[in-house]
Amino acid sequence: MHKRLRKLVLWTASFTVFICFTPGHVESTGSPKTQKGREYYEKTGDVTWEYPSQKNMIALTFDDGPDPVDTPQILDLLKKYNAKSTFFVVGKQVDEHPEVARRQVAEGHELANHTYTHAYFTRNSSVASIRNEMEKTQQSIIKVTGQKSYLFRPPGGFYSDRMIDTCRKDGYLVVMWSWHQDTWDWNRPGVHKIVNKVLNNARSGDIVLMHDHVEGKSQTIEALKQILPELQKRGFRFVTVSELAGRHIPHDASQVH
């Protein structure tokens, strides 16, 4: 999506959901409580934002890929620091760059669902449209990896009760991110801002939000060159969301419905 258009979509969606339902980005800046917000869904276990831990583990997550240029560079850095990550992939990108997706899995990372077209779900999104986006991506992931993902992250962090209910019925855990670890790297705010956001707020159990596919030249790669060694020096271990949550990807895709 063109950067200017993406900003417009996010602003429009933010205004809409501010009135109608609970979004991740708006909540993180302090929106009024809605009928079912973070506290409710953390108690039900349907949505997670982080997993506070004493084990010095942190989950780096990357959205919107795979990208044929940026993702391989990120994989090289992760390999250098023995870091495992979760990539929330867009199904269309997987279909276009299956070799990158295969490499991600081969190197011990996990792929998770981020819709097929990077679709923003609103309060009015139908169950059929939600399932269509998720199922198409699921099939793309299975086609290249032989594994079925059970993790889902809605683009923009926008969610509704209907979307979460659909995910629960279909066997997905909705994974957001730690509010203090939203790097906004897709907007290219400057390498130093991305680095400072992560390092100044790093806590065990964090889920960090980054992107391996952005419009324009990525700043994420340069930021990772500073983030990875510094967090490693502090004793952090980089793990997948599944490991952070104490869950494992089933080897048999049929185990997830």
* Phi, psi dihedral angles at 137 (to 5 degrees): -70, -40
Catalytic entry in 97, 109, 211, 213: 211
Catalytic entry in 63, 64, 70, 206: 63
**Total domains present in the chain:** 1
Q: Is 2 a catalytic residue?
A: no
Q: Is 17 domain-assigned?
A: no
Q: Is 34 domain-assigned?
A: no
Q: Count CB neighbours of 253 within 10 A.
A: 16
- Give 74 or 249, the one with higher predicted confidence: 74
Residue 128 Cα distances to 16, 79, 124, 152, angstroms: 21, 39, 11, 16
Q: Is 82 domain-assigned?
A: yes
List, for residues 177-187, the tens digit of each pLDDT value.
Answer: 999 999 999 99
List, for residues 91-104, the tens digit of each pLDDT value.
Answer: 999 999 999 999 99
Structural domain containing residue 81? 42-247
Q: Does residue 16 register a pLDDT over 90?
A: no
- Rounded mean pLDDT, 149-164: 96
Q: Does residue 232 register a pLDDT over 70?
A: yes
Q: Does residue 222 register a pLDDT over 80?
A: yes
Q: Give dist(CA 103, CA 72) in Å, integer.
A: 8
The helix, strand and coil proportions of the chain, stated in percent and rounded to the nearest 5, come to 50, 10, 40
Q: Does residue 138 register a pLDDT over 70?
A: yes
Closest CA to 182 of 197, 172, 161: 197
Could you tell me the CATH number of the domain that includes residue 169? 3.20.20.370
- Rounded mean pLDDT, 23-33: 37
Do residues 144 and 91 lie in contact, with contact meaning Cβ atoms separated by under 8 Å?
no
Q: Is 180 a catalytic residue?
A: no
Q: Is 35 domain-assigned?
A: no
Please state the pTM of the whole predicted model. Answer: 0.85
Q: Is 18 domain-assigned?
A: no
- The pLDDT of residue 1: 43
- The pLDDT of residue 252: 39
- The pLDDT of residue 8: 44
Closest CA to 197 of 174, 224, 175, 216: 224
- Rounded mean pLDDT, 108-133: 97
Q: Count CB neighbours of 60 within 10 A.
A: 28
In the DSSP assignment, the letter for residue 239 is -
- Rounded mean pLDDT, 242-256: 62
Q: Is 133 domain-assigned?
A: yes
Q: Is 4 domain-assigned?
A: no
Do residues 111 and 212 lie in contact, with contact meaning Cβ atoms separated by under 8 Å?
no
Q: Is 3 domain-assigned?
A: no
Q: Does residue 30 register a pLDDT over 50?
A: no
Q: Give dist(CA 58, CA 245) in Å, integer.
A: 11
Do residues 253 and 106 lie in contact, with contact meaning Cβ atoms separated by under 8 Å?
no
Judging by DSSP bridges, how do beta strands 86-89 and 237-238 pair with one another?
Answer: unpaired
